[in-house]
Amino acid sequence: MATTLQLPVQLSFTISVNLETGTFHDLQRDMRRESRRALLHALEGLMEQIEQALLGAPVLCPRCEQPMRSRGRSPRRLVTVFGSIDIHRRRYSCRTCQTVRRPLDEWIRLLNGTEYTTAVREQALYLAADLPYERAAEVLRHVGGIGMSGRQIQHLLEEEAAHIEAALTDPAGTRASHDEPDPTLGRRFRRGGRHVDSPGAQRVSQLRRLKTSGLWDQYWAQRFEQERAVALPLEQAR
């Protein structure tokens, strides 16, 4: 039976304004910075409330169907669209079969060992389709307040490449048109000492085609559901 929680979110912060030297530009910049911090703090509080609700019923072993024993808390870092948070989620283990469960992880359904949420990966790769990795990281940090290096964005694309290629392949197994690398990538990759036909350039070319195909939103919704389907069994098998 589905359970719906009504979780109130209150945002409050203080802005200092110098009427003599301050400007409207300063006010907007400061409000954006402080509101981002307030949203991040609120998200941390919501995670605590959600975990409390999840632990309202006994945590049962998925194999033995017996109540599990609490083993304290373990930390995990998540990079969200509001910034990075560290959560300390409860860990349970089965006395009989040693299965481990972390109910909050099961609700979040982010693959173990992954810290970037699907929404963050989407934003980073959206920028990387048109900007060099370091420039994409700079924009992501300046506009979104998300700290990520260009190398990390490049690594995200390398991990995502197989899924993007599958999305650009029709049900008959034929790849979408324009399999050749985008010629406009020449300057970007030659500047880095690479060739437009390199695997990296081909990955960016595919990313651009996904962005302009009309499938972008559908793709990321499907990726989220795929991760949900994979993460829960993996977490309960640990």
Closest CA to 68 of 57, 81, 59, 77: 59
DSSP 3-state assignment of 161? helix
- 3-state SS, residue 135: helix
Residue 21: count other Cβ atoms within 10 Å of its Cβ: 7
Which amino acid is located at 224 in the chain?
Answer: F
In tens, the pLDDT along 70-103 reads: 999 999 999 999 999 999 999 999 999 999 999 9
Mean per-residue pLDDT, 110-122? 85
| pLDDT reported for residue 180 | 57
Q: Which of 76, 44, 55 is nearest to 231 (CA)?
A: 76
Q: Does residue 238 carry a pLDDT above 60?
A: no
pLDDT of residue 28: 94
- Give the pLDDT confidence of 42-60 residue by residue, as tens digits: 999 999 999 999 999 999 9
pLDDT tens digits, 33-46? 999 999 999 999 99
Q: How far apart are CA 238 and CA 235, in angstroms?
A: 6
Q: Rounded distance, CA 176 to CA 173, Å?
A: 9
CB 99 within 8 A of CB 232: no
User: pLDDT tier at 225 (50, 70, 90 boundaries)?
Assistant: confident
**Alpha-carbon distance 41 to 47, whole Å?**
10
The 10s digit of each residue's pLDDT in 129-165 is: 999 999 999 999 998 889 899 999 999 999 999 999 9
CA distance 19 to 13: 19
Say if CB 146 and CB 79 are below 8 A apart: yes
How many CB atoms are located within 10 Å of the residue 136 CB? 23
In the chain, the largest separation of any two C-alpha atoms, in whole Å, equals: 70
pTM attached to this predicted model: 0.79
Calpha distance 28→23 (Å, rounded): 9
The two counts, helices (H) then strands (E), for the chain are 8, 3
Predicted pLDDT of residue 100: 93
Q: 167-221 pLDDT, tens per residue?
A: 998 665 455 444 555 666 666 665 555 555 688 888 999 999 999 999 999 999 9
